Structure 1
Amino acid sequence: MTKEPMTQFGHSKLKNELNDLKKVQRPETVEEIDIARSHGDLKENAEYHAAREKLRFIESRIAELSDLLVNSQLVDPSSYAHDKVRFGSTVELENLVTEEKAVYTIVGKTESNPDVGLISFHTPLARGLMGKEEGDEVVIALPSGKVEYEILEVAYKKIDFKE
């Protein structure tokens, strides 16, 4: 299996969630199960069944996060030049038809959150921008159709906000 690139921001976010699930949520849920079990008949005990379902979800998420972290490759975008669009680059674009400007940072798929400007390097937009430089005009085939952009700026900007 190929390693999935990830920034320190994304890696820390996943590790923190995994730690919370293992050390806080799972023990609390096990305690909820014990309390619900003490209420008697398990067949008709909604609290018990809800807690067991919650524990199954937590265990599933722990496995998923563990797998993501094992198969991740930590990439430090600050360690290389951003003279071209690369993984970790923050790119300012202008739509040449509508003249709308947008800023995106290219990250790994698990870190992606388009609402705050974080796009996966797997997206058509990111793939179309990779390797391009400031001043380049590119036509990118998006699900909504072809869009022509001008790259106004390519830089590295540390991701340090909370989602």
Structure 2
Amino acid sequence: MGKISYYTEEGLNRLKTELNDLKTKGRADIARQIAEARDKGDLSENAEYDAAKDAQGLLELKISKLEDIVANARILDESTIDASQVSVLSTVKIKNTKNGAVMTYTLVSEEEADLKTGKISVGSPIGKGLLGKKVGDKAEIKVPAGVMEFVVIEIGR
């Protein structure tokens, strides 16, 4: 059994859609490639056939992993989350104490993290360092570049 992961409803639906696409379109494409390669003759010396079979194996591995993730996924109910401290799905405004930069991040699961949209993983160094903090708390977070210090300015949903 895989580890239980928590997702927003949107994130879990995106995973289910990807899984469905791989099972339908992905498998159909691979089957077509194998059939085309098989039609080209001797399979013992057919590099296209070997490549298509390898691609099939990789696709099935990816499908298996996604099935495991979806089977162990749980949807987070935002109404049950304590809004007074930083937790999963919190939108946190933090200020870097050294340079005064203010950043806003939403803490999400590993698979939903996307820095471009301001979503960071709860498993990242900054995500771990912010968990459980309240407004006004200082967080000293060890990052690859050294230790950074942040102050939690605001916590939202």
Same fold (TM over 0.5): yes
What is the rounded CA distance, in whole Å, between the counterparts of 2:111 and 2:101 in structure 1?
27
Deviation string, structure 1 residues 36-62 (Cα, Å, up to 9, x no partner): 101111123222222111111110000
2: CA distance, partners of 1:116 / 1:97: 24
The 3-state SS of whatever aligns with 1:110 is helix
Aligned AA for 2:125? P
Equivalence for 1:142: 143
Alignment of 1:45-64 (within 5 A): 45-64=46-65
Structure-2 residue corresponding to 1:106: 107
Query: For residue 76 of structure 1, what is the amino acid of its counterpart?
Result: D
Q: Secondary structure at the match of 2:154?
A: strand
Q: Is the 8 A contact 2:125 2:142 kept in 1?
A: yes
Counterpart for residue 4 of structure 1: 5
Letter in 2 for 1:8: E
**Residue-pair matches, total:** 156
Report the TM-score, using the length of structure 2 for normalisation: 0.88
Q: When the two structures are superposed, what TM-score results if normalisation uses the length of structure 1? A: 0.86
Query: Distance in 2 between the 1:92 and 1:44 partners?
Result: 60
Determine helix, strand or coil for the equivalent of 2:98: coil
- Going from structure 1 to structure 2, the CA distance change for 1:77 and 1:144 (only over 3 Å counts) comes to farther
| 1:17 counterpart = 2:18 | yes
Structure 2 Cα separation of the partners of residues 81 and 138 of structure 1: 19
- SS of 1:67's equivalent in the other structure is helix
What's the C-alpha RMSD, in Å, of the aligned pairs?
A: 1.8
Q: Structure 1: where are the runs of 5+ without partners?
A: 157-163
Matches within 5 A, 1:10-159: 10-77=11-78, 79-156=80-157
Kept in 2, the 8 Å contact 1:77–1:89? The answer is: no
Mark the runs of 5 or more structure 2 residues left unpaired by the alignment.
none
Bigger fraction of residues in helix = 2
Secondary structure of the corresponding residue to residue 91 of structure 1: strand
